[in-house]
Amino acid sequence: MAARFPSLMVFLPLVFLLPFLVTARCECGYSVNKTTDAEHMVWTDLLETDFLHVDNLTDSGWVPQVYNVSSTAARGAYGKMATLENVRVNPLKNSWDWAGEAVEGGDAGLQLVVRSEPVEKMVPIGEVVASRTDMLYGSFRVAMKLTGLPGTCGAFFWFRNDTQEIDIEFLSKQLNESSNMVNLVLQSPQSAAAGYDASHTPNYDVYPLPFRPDKAFHEYRFDWLPDRVSFYADGTWLKDMTIDLPNSPGHLVLNHWSNGDPLWSAGPPRENATLAVSYVKAYFNSSDAQRHKDYYLRCKDETAVDSVCAIPDQTTPPDNQGPDANATAKTFFFSEEPDDTTNQTVFGDWQNKNGAVALGGPRAWVVAAGVAFASAMALVGFA
């Protein structure tokens, strides 16, 4: 029998697919510290949002909130009124820049607004929540610039319920020339028993920062592990909490609010106040059974080169001001590199930015590549 030789046309799909088959990275996750370090953590999933270049929240992984809370429920002099109008996207005018003028003026990024005038005894506020509700342990980071107007609370937190919550909160009344405090909080059964006042529990700390949070963008981070929650600012460790830790899946929240409580937010502010967010980067394990299956399908050898990618530490302020603003504001996103996000849920438009054909997300590419490769192997007699 004559030997079978595959035609050039059969190999052409393989040549096209080679970049997708041989350049995939991070298929086994993302690590805090290198995997060769004595202490490191590996997370299987990610949610990254570059708000400097987002012009529509619909495909961002974040959902603006609309709700009313009475003053009694809000435990303040006023209630809270979350509205769409107080959640504003304000990208940079030039999509290739990392600093410069924003479309609507002011600070570029996601803007969360607290209004100065109450409506029906409620203060209008801004809030968004992440669409992923399966976050179970991880490293969670936000770059934001707080308002300098007294009378608001700006917060980045993970939430399961009122007794499982990890908070980084800023009270704008604490931001001035002599005081730059960040409130680090774990809401727990103890805080619930104290009337949701965590200040009477071990899981509360008011930490003095060496910079003005209302003058520039800085990165705030918490790493949630089974045995501790560690807090950071611009990559510098601030505090560990080890008691009454959350142990169930939840989601991320960004909000900016006021309820007139003199012991907390105070306010409302004397004029409309804005908190700006330039990015959120979350690396975490999922509680979702399908995500577990996806992980084991894509991660064949966690010891292989580049199968786990180290998360770069942000050790300087990611600020967009000054002569080197384009350099300081530019930070790394795995989701801008298609080969680094195999089988991940990626939000944004990296296909358009990188000039690739927008035929779907990374998962679609990998599935298509696998099917085409198997088909080609069958045609040439290898399957």
Residue-number span of the structural domain to which 99 is assigned: 39-287
Identify whether the C-beta of residue 82 lies closer than 8 Å to the C-beta of residue 126: yes
Distance CA 109, CA 279 (A): 8
User: Do 170 and 252 share a domain, yes or no?
Assistant: yes
Identify whether the C-beta of residue 143 lies closer than 8 Å to the C-beta of residue 332: no
Q: State how beta strands 181-187 and 204-208 pair.
A: antiparallel
User: Do 196 and 99 share a domain, yes or no?
Assistant: yes
pLDDT tens by residue, 94-138: 999 999 999 999 999 999 999 999 999 999 999 999 999 999 999
- Strand partners of residue 111: 88, 276
φ/ψ region of 285 (left if φ > 0, alpha if ψ in -120 to 50, else beta) reads beta
- In angstroms, the Cα distances linking 342 to 14, 140, 361, 362 are 19, 20, 9, 6
User: Do 122 and 153 share a domain, yes or no?
Assistant: yes
Identify whether the C-beta of residue 251 lies closer than 8 Å to the C-beta of residue 156: no
pLDDT of residue 348: 59
- In angstroms, the Cα distances linking 106 to 91, 172, 241, 316 are 10, 18, 36, 22
User: Do 212 and 259 share a domain, yes or no?
Assistant: yes
User: Do 20 and 48 share a domain, yes or no?
Assistant: no
User: Do 60 and 118 share a domain, yes or no?
Assistant: yes
Residue 156: which of 194, 108, 190, 112 has the closest Cα?
112
User: Do 153 and 17 share a domain, yes or no?
Assistant: no
Write out the H or E segment, with its range, that includes residue 159.
Answer: strand 153-161
User: Do 66 and 146 share a domain, yes or no?
Assistant: yes
pLDDT of residue 322: 84
pTM for this structure? 0.86
pLDDT of residue 377: 40
Identify whether the C-beta of residue 157 lies closer than 8 Å to the C-beta of residue 144: no
pLDDT of residue 364: 34
User: Do 237 and 368 share a domain, yes or no?
Assistant: no
Q: What Rg do the C-alpha atoms of the chain give, in angstroms?
A: 23
Name the stretches of the chain with pLDDT < 70: 1-23, 347-383
pLDDT tens by residue, 47-59: 999 999 999 998 8
The 3-state DSSP class for residue 88 equals strand
pLDDT of residue 23: 56
Identify whether the C-beta of residue 250 lies closer than 8 Å to the C-beta of residue 159: yes
User: Do 185 and 116 share a domain, yes or no?
Assistant: yes
